[in-house]
């Protein structure tokens, strides 16, 4: 096969996450977003070491497994991958993907048990959070609000018929899109934020809805370039244009007039002038209600803010966390643990009833906690988010220590533990790599629930050095899990059992829960990690663009653009990914990094050990 060649073939299988393995007369080609059994036409985009990758051009014949899609946007929207397959077929694909990845690393250890895949209790309308983007579906087209078009960084598809959210989401999405479209038709100078030119007002619409309580939180994310303003010196507003408050109050009132099945808990306005296409807050204003809502999982109640991490499928999260709890309680005095869990559920219900009346504690709660504490163990919940797992483990542990880098999530975890009457939970804000050096207690059990990219190698080394007998690893990306398992196996751990959990029906994502045990013949090392005030050891931060910018600003007093950093990295021979932000113009004007700033950036790269 040659680059640019057009080939046809049958998709034999789909490897994680969405890599279709296409068998052609010329050989095997990997094509994204194809389904097993489809006959496809693709263009070869890369050939390396006998392995070809291609871009899907068209589906020539549907797969015999396909049954049609219930969503009008499937294929154009980049959100779902398996929506045209029966749910059972999708489960088989994900189960095979996870098993194949685990087998690739666990074939070198003793017997282990793979328990298949657990399905989501709800397949449609399951999401409790959506981040919609403003933009246009075609260049200079009408305003769109929805998801990114498949394979496109810029084009937006208005997904008013999306099936993985419920009707309230669809009504809110349609209402907001119509409101701002009508303003434009009335001559209001209000546009979406252009990612290349960094001009415009409307950026994102964030919607969260609790599956159990029905409470809804809506946040409009904009720049500070209000109606009639442009990103120029002075930022003067064009005469005759409405004030921003008038626009925002109209937005609020439209939402409040909607007939929804759920209850509107809060409407927010978030200002974000960051260049990166992410949702973050420079300033947040409450237009209505409050900036949080409540959700319930397995008898516990959680207060969730707009940026709090929380599993996006509440019903599926109960399956995931119940699985984790079942795995763990087998090793924390099973008979007493199950009795404690049952008692905790009763205690929690009582605490919730009292919480509704504004009281903090109930008679008997402290006695119950003391009883459990006397016989429990110390559990570390690393990458703990809002403390969901930690609080589920608290009734059967002496103490649970959660570590999370997002401070807002840590504050939420503390409030949630108090709300649920759990007094043996401690939550620490900070990077796991650094925080572990500051904790005096030694864990009896460790729970890991890291972000998609897995665990930092240095943090992984510290975790393994504790030498605990059992570790529970919850992963939302099985390829990252397999990479980390390689290290665990080399250091004396084995996987006892593992199971996949479908938290994200119709998408290419899947959760995996794995229980690891330290082999009996592995020598344990007693490790004391301590950083004293006069210690010279200071772990360096990761060499992210943001940290490089901060280093240059702190040491030389100047700001540097991401483009300049990328230019210097290329000059130094550092490997760079594809530039998705390059200009679409035929002969774009390229501004090169000034020599002085080039020296500052090189100094930063040396500091972070890149050159």
Distances (CA, A) of 471 to 96, 219, 373, 447, 583: 24, 38, 21, 6, 47
Q: Is the pLDDT of residue 340 over 50?
A: no
Average pLDDT rounded to a whole number, residues 61-73? 93
Q: What is the C-alpha to C-alpha distance for residues 466 and 445, in angstroms, rounded to an integer?
A: 10
The CATH number of the domain where 8 resides is what? 2.40.50.140
d(CA 50, CA 41): 20
- Torsion, CA 304, CA 305, CA 310, CA 312, rounded to 10: 100
Q: Give the tens place of pLDDT for each residue, 6-44.
A: 999 999 999 999 999 999 888 899 999 999 999 999 999
pLDDT, position 179: 97
Establish if 95 belongs to a structural domain.
no
Task: Name which of 45-59, 295-309, 544-558 the model is least confident about.
Answer: 544-558
Q: Domain tally for the chain?
A: 4
Contact 235, 148 (CB under 8 A): no
Residue 264 DSSP one-character state = E
Residue 317 included in any domain: no
Distance between CA atoms of 395 and 333, rounded to whole angstroms? 12
pLDDT-based confidence at residue 593 (cuts at 50, 70, 90): confident
> Which of the residue ranges 51-55, 212-216, 353-357, 422-426 would you say has the lowest mean pLDDT?
353-357
Which of 23, 47, 57, 18 is closest to 34 using CA atoms? Answer: 18
262 and 355 share a domain? no
Q: From start to end of 49-172, where are the E strands?
A: 51-61, 113-118, 129-136, 143-148, 156-157
Q: Which residues are catalytic?
A: 476
Residue 370's pLDDT band, with cuts at 50, 70 and 90, is very low
Domain membership of residue 575 (yes or no) is yes
First-to-last alpha carbon distance for the chain, in angstroms, is 37
The residue segments making up the domain with residue 578 are 545-607
Q: What is the mean pLDDT of residues 103-109?
A: 93
- Last residue in a domain, options 424, 457, 490: 457
Query: Which segments within 149-262 are labelled E, that is strand?
Result: 156-157, 202-209, 215-222
Both 280 and 365 in one domain: the answer is: no
Residue 268 lies in a domain: yes
Of 134-138, 196-200, 360-364, 561-565, the range with the lowest mean pLDDT is 360-364
Q: Which segment of 36-50, 464-478, 524-538 scores lowest on mean pLDDT?
A: 524-538
pLDDT for 269-285, tens place per residue? 999 998 888 888 999 99
Domain-located, residue 119: no
| pTM more than 0.85 | no
Same domain, 41 and 181: no
Average pLDDT over residues 463-469: 95
Point out the domain boundary residue: 457, 484, 510: 457
């Amino acid at each position: 096969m040659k680059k640019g060649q057009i080939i046809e073939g049958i998709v034999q299988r789909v490897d994680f996450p969405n890599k279709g393995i296409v068998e052609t007369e010329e050989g095997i080609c990997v094509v994204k977003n194809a389904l097993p059994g489809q006959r496809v036409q693709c263009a070869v985009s890369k050939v390396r070491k006998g392995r070809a990758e291609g871009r899907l051009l068209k589906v020539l014949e549907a797969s015999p497994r396909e049954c049609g899609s219930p969503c009008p946007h499937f294929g154009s929207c980049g959100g779902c991958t398996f929506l045209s397959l029966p749910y059972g077929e999708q489960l088989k694909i994900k189960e095979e993907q996870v098993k194949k990845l685990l087998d690739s690393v666990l074939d070198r250890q003793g017997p282990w048990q793979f328990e298949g895949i657990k399905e989501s209790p709800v397949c449609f309308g399951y999401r409790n959070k959506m981040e919609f983007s403003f933009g246009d579906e075609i260049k200079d087209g009408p305003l769109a609000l929805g998801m990114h078009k498949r394979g496109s960084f810029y084009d937006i598809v208005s997904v008013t018929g999306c099936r993985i959210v419920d009707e309230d989401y669809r009504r809110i999405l349609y209402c907001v899109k119509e409101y701002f479209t009508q303003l434009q038709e009335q001559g209001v100078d209000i546009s979406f934020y252009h990612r290349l030119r960094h001009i415009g007002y409307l950026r994102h619409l964030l919607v969260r809805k609790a599956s159990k309580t029905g409470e809804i939180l809506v946040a409009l994310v904009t720049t500070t370039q209000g109606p009639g303003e442009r990103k120029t010196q002075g930022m003067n507003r064009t005469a005759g244009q409405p004030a921003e408050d008038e626009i925002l109050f109209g937005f609020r009132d439209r939402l409040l007039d909607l007939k929804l099945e759920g209850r509107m808990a809060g409407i927010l306005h978030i200002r974000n002038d960051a260049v990166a296409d992410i949702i973050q807050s420079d300033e947040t204003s409450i237009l209505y209600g409050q900036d949080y809502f409540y959700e319930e999982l397995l008898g516990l109640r959680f207060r969730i803010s707009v940026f709090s991490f929380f599993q996006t499928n509440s019903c599926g999260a109960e399956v995931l966390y119940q699985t984790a709890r079942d795995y763990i309680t087998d090793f924390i005095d099973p008979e007493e643990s199950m009795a404690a869990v049952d008692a905790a559920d009763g205690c929690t219900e009582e605490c919730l009833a009292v919480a509704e009346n504004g009281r903090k504690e109930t008679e008997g709660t402290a006695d119950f906690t003391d009883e459990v504490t006397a016989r429990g163990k110390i559990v570390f919940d690393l990458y703990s988010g809002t403390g969901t797992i930690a609080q589920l483990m608290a009734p059967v542990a002496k103490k649970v220590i959660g570590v999370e880098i997002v401070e807002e999530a840590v504050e939420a975890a503390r409030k949630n533990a108090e709300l649920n009457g759990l007094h043996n939970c401690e939550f620490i804000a900070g990077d796991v790599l650094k925080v572990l050096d500051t904790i005096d207690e030694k864990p009896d059990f460790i729970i890991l629930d890291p972000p998609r990219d897995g665990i930092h190698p240095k943090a992984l080394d510290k975790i393994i050095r504790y030498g605990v007998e059992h570790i529970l690893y919850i992963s939302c990306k099985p390829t990252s899990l397999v990479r980390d398992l390689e290290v665990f196996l080399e250091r004396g751990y084995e996987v006892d059992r593992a199971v996949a959990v479908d938290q994200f029906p119709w998408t290419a994502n899947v959760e995996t829960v794995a229980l690891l045990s330290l082999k009996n013949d592995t020598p344990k090392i007693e490790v004391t990690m301590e950083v004293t005030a006069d210690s010279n050891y200071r772990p360096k931060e990761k060499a992210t663009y943001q940290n490089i910018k901060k280093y240059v600003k702190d040491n030389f007093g100047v700001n540097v653009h991401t483009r300049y950093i990328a230019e210097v990295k290329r000059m130094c021979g550092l490997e760079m990914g594809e530039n998705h932000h390059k200009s679409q113009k035929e002969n774009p004007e390229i501004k090169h990094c000034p020599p002085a700033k080039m020296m500052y950036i090189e100094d930063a790269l040396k500091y972070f050990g890149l050159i």
